[in-house]
Chain A
Amino acid sequence: MNNIEFIYPELFLIISLLILLILGVYKSNSYNFIKKITTICFLLCIPIVYLNNIGDFNIFNNSYSVDSLSNYLKILILLSTVFSLMFTNDYIKIQKLDKFEYPILILSAVIGMFLMVSSNDLIGLYLGIELQSLSLYVLASIDRGSEKSTEAGVKYFVLGALSSGLFLYGCSLLYGFSGSTNYYEISEVFKQDTSIPILFGIIFIIIGLAFKISAVPFHMWSPDVYQGSPTSVTSFFALAPKIAGLGAIIRILYICFGEIYEEWKSIIIFISVASMLLGAFAAIGQTNLKRLMAYSSISHIGYVLAALTVGNRDGVISAISYLNIYIIMMISSFACILFFKRKNVYFENIYDLSGLSKNHPLISFCFATTLFSLAGIPPLAGFFAKFYVFKSVVEANMIYLAIIGLIASVISAFYYLRIVKIMYFDPENEKFDEGSNIGIRFSILFSSIIIIFYFLNPSSILYYVEMATKFLN
């Protein structure tokens, strides 16, 4: 029974999922009500996770760990989910997606992410991934009337199932060699005997996880799914699942495969370089904002993975700090994208933004700063994120990685700046609707303030992340 005390956040979310489901079924037209309560549940869960942070524990026979890192990532997941629920409110109502299952599926996806970041066992990780992705498949195709949404759902489902299969194959190979599915026991096996031909298992597991965070060369699903799904779902895709996926990758690489760093280093370097470059090059030709954001998130994932190749605690710290800032930038950019509507029709093409600065100076300023920050231009937050990564990479004597990263960010600056040019220097277009709700305004304001004034105290995030990763050595 002792173990139960450590999983209060998960239990809280699961119980609220079940209660909300019953409420939603019996109350007609209950989307608003359920959404509000779900948001409150997420907000309540933050202090529960925080209070739960009383040390590093491994429970359920070492298969589930509640430590500062997982708690940090959980709070990040909860916050980003709350934001994505907040600024998508208008969109969901206008697009008639207001079914009460929508927030409930987000809730179940968050439970899956909690399992992913906490799991210390291959079975638990797999179950977490499945719970998360099953909810996301449904969310992607939630707009049944639209062909694109259905296509996105099916594509995501088929490729996700394939990647789960690859992941499971890797797990079974790993289990075959080590005789256990537990990270600690697997790493014990590696400690005693490094000659095991384990590379295949590792590759398959990394492929499976790379699929989930859409890193190149397993990114094919992401632009189509980002574009096809309703924008509210896309914004959720860009936020929480990335945190969960990276949490799982960090845990599996550093705890399970910590002993065989040399084996996986080159794989991660390859994935990271490919993601940075492809994300930068492929985005040049895109005119759809959502598709562009998909490529942008691919390249950002590349930077995070570059930090992980360092293989020590510094790398993890800079990776998580990068992730943090990435989340804030994504909140800002998706809140802006959800602002662009005329007479309740949403616009996704970048040319629709032409001359935005004349009609909506404040929004275009915020969007422009966000784009500058995404491109990594000082003194905005995005610059510091990239700085942390390059610093830890250079310290580990991998200067070439830093150079490639720099090149990629120079290339990507091109397409970010192109949008800024369209907004500020192209001929004026029709005005967008003014009556955006408070959620969008608050999200844009909040994230823009952080992005702009981050330089005042650039070590603040680093401090918290350092606290969170204390147990990794």
Chain B
Amino acid sequence: MLAHSIVFYFFSLITIFSSIMVISSKNTIHAVFFLILDFVSISCLFIMLGAEFLGMITLIVYVGAVAVLFLFVVMMININFSELKSGFLNYLPFGSLIGLVILLELFIMVGAWKYKDNFLTTGEIVINKEITNTQSIGNVIYTDYIHYFQISGIILLVAMIGAILLTFQKRDFLKRQNIIQQVSRERSDSVSVVKVETYKGIKIDD
């Protein structure tokens, strides 16, 4: 148990530290790297909870794909961070007020949750320990929540259509490689062997 809690506190401290660094670091690239560290440590926490599937999917999707593209974009565009930060003090009072309100609401909710006995507690949730959690996630996603699963797919499809529609431009002056055309080119299409008679020459462009 001791080892378990040591590891747990280790990862949670990294999580908190890197989340703070994400919003406070001056260099945007560093912020993204801290975000990645954050994702990694969160997935470690998931694995410690016994949700190994979720942990791995977080790693694959967020760290392996999303954050790479994110980094890609941040590296490409040069953001002047000091300019972004210039309005910080102006917005601080209003921003912190909203943050405070949301925090208070969370406290109210947690309070109500803790001190009401007729609420569902986490202990009541039935977990089938016989099957792996990959299987139990699959069991609900493909039965009870199948329609949500499919709709999410359509949402992603629409996002893809939108991204292509808004960014793809067919430029006529660009040369594109047409591999089928290249491969299906025959010798007779491009080369002709002509016997050139002496002192007569040959007309090339006909």
Direct contact of A and B (CB under 8 A): yes
Question: A144 and B166: CB pair below 8 A?
Answer: yes
Which residues of B have CB within 8 Å of A179? 119-120
Question: B151 and A131: CB pair below 8 A?
Answer: yes
Interface positions, chain B 72-103, Cβ under 8 Å from A, are 102
7 smallest CB-CB distances across A and B, nearest first, come from A138-B162, A179-B120, A101-B165, A127-B151, A108-B158, A200-B105, A176-B109
Question: A123 and B148: CB pair below 8 A?
Answer: yes
Question: A99 and B105: CB pair below 8 A?
Answer: no
Known: A105-B162, A115-B151, A196-B112. 15 other contacts (CB 8 A): A60-B144, A99-B165, A101-B161, A105-B161, A108-B161, A124-B147, A124-B151, A131-B155, A135-B158, A138-B161, A138-B166, A173-B109, A177-B119, A197-B112, A200-B108
Q: Which of B113, B155, B159 interacts with A127 by CB under 8 Å?
A: B155
A64-B147, A111-B154, A134-B155 known; A169-B108 Cβ under 8 A: no
Interface positions, chain A 146-203, Cβ under 8 Å from B, are 153, 169, 173, 176-177, 179, 192-193, 196-197, 200
Q: List 23 A-B contacts (CB under 8 A).
A: A14-B154, A21-B161, A60-B144, A101-B164, A104-B161, A105-B161, A105-B165, A124-B148, A124-B151, A128-B151, A131-B158, A134-B155, A134-B158, A138-B158, A138-B161, A138-B165, A173-B105, A177-B112, A177-B113, A179-B119, A179-B120, A197-B112, A200-B105
Which residue on chain A has the smallest CB distance to residue B144? A61
CB of B27 closer than 8 Å to a CB of A: no
Number of interface residues of B (CB under 8 A): 26
Interface positions, chain A 87-131, Cβ under 8 Å from B, are 99, 101, 104-105, 108, 111, 115, 123-124, 127-128, 130-131
Which residues of B have CB within 8 Å of A111? 154
Interface positions, chain A 33-84, Cβ under 8 Å from B, are 60-61, 63-64
Q: How far is the CA of A64 from the CA of B164 in the complex (A)?
A: 32
Q: How far is the CA of A21 from the CA of B165 in the complex (A)?
A: 12
Which residue on chain B has the smallest CB distance to residue A139? B162
- Interface, chain A (partner B; CB < 8 A): 7, 14, 17, 21, 60-61, 63-64, 99, 101, 104-105, 108, 111, 115, 123-124, 127-128, 130-131, 134-135, 137-138, 141-142, 144, 153, 169, 173, 176-177, 179, 192-193, 196-197, 200
Which residues of B have CB within 8 Å of A21? 157, 161
- Residue-wise interface mask of B (148-188) relative to A, using a CB-CB cutoff of 8 A (1 in contact, 0 not): 10011011011101101110000000000000000000000
Q: How far is the CA of A104 from the CA of B154 in the complex (A)?
A: 12
Which residue on chain A has the smallest CB distance to residue B165? A101
Q: How far is the CA of A451 from the CA of B12 in the complex (A)?
A: 64
- Interface, chain B (partner A; CB < 8 A): 102, 105, 108-109, 112-113, 118-120, 144-148, 151-152, 154-155, 157-159, 161-162, 164-166
Question: B162 and A137: CB pair below 8 A?
Answer: yes
Which residues of A have CB within 8 Å of B162? 105, 134-135, 137-138
Question: A127 and B152: CB pair below 8 A?
Answer: yes
- Cβ of A358 to closest chain B Cβ, rounded Å: 42
Q: Which of A61, A99, A105 interacts with B158 by CB under 8 Å?
A: A105
- Cβ of B110 to closest chain A Cβ, rounded Å: 8
Which residue on chain B has the smallest CB distance to residue A121? B148
Which residue on chain A has the smallest CB distance to residue B112? A197
Question: B155 and A130: CB pair below 8 A?
Answer: yes
Q: Which of B102, B112, B159 interacts with A169 by CB under 8 Å?
A: B102
Which residues of B have CB within 8 Å of A128? 151
Q: How far is the CA of A196 from the CA of B115 in the complex (A)?
A: 12
Which residues of A have CB within 8 Å of B161? 21, 101, 104-105, 108, 138
- Cβ of A263 to closest chain B Cβ, rounded Å: 15
Q: How far is the CA of A179 from the CA of B124 in the complex (A)?
A: 11
Which residues of A have CB within 8 Å of B158? 105, 108, 131, 134-135, 138
Which residues of A have CB within 8 Å of B144? 60-61
- Cβ of A443 to closest chain B Cβ, rounded Å: 26
Question: A127 and B148: CB pair below 8 A?
Answer: yes
Q: How far is the CA of A179 from the CA of B113 in the complex (A)?
A: 10
Q: How far is the CA of A124 from the CA of B165 in the complex (A)?
A: 27
Which residue on chain A has the smallest CB distance to residue B143? A61
Q: Which of A101, A105, A108, A142 interacts with B154 by CB under 8 Å?
A: A108
Which residues of B have CB within 8 Å of A105? 158, 161-162, 165
Which residue on chain A has the smallest CB distance to residue B163? A138
- Cβ of B114 to closest chain A Cβ, rounded Å: 11
- Cβ of A19 to closest chain B Cβ, rounded Å: 13
- Cβ of A109 to closest chain B Cβ, rounded Å: 8
- Cβ of B166 to closest chain A Cβ, rounded Å: 6
Which residue on chain A has the smallest CB distance to residue B155? A131
- Cβ of B148 to closest chain A Cβ, rounded Å: 6
Q: How far is the CA of A390 from the CA of B162 in the complex (A)?
A: 42
Q: How far is the CA of A62 from the CA of B99 in the complex (A)?
A: 36
Q: How far is the CA of A133 from the CA of B47 in the complex (A)?
A: 35
Which residues of A have CB within 8 Å of B159? 134
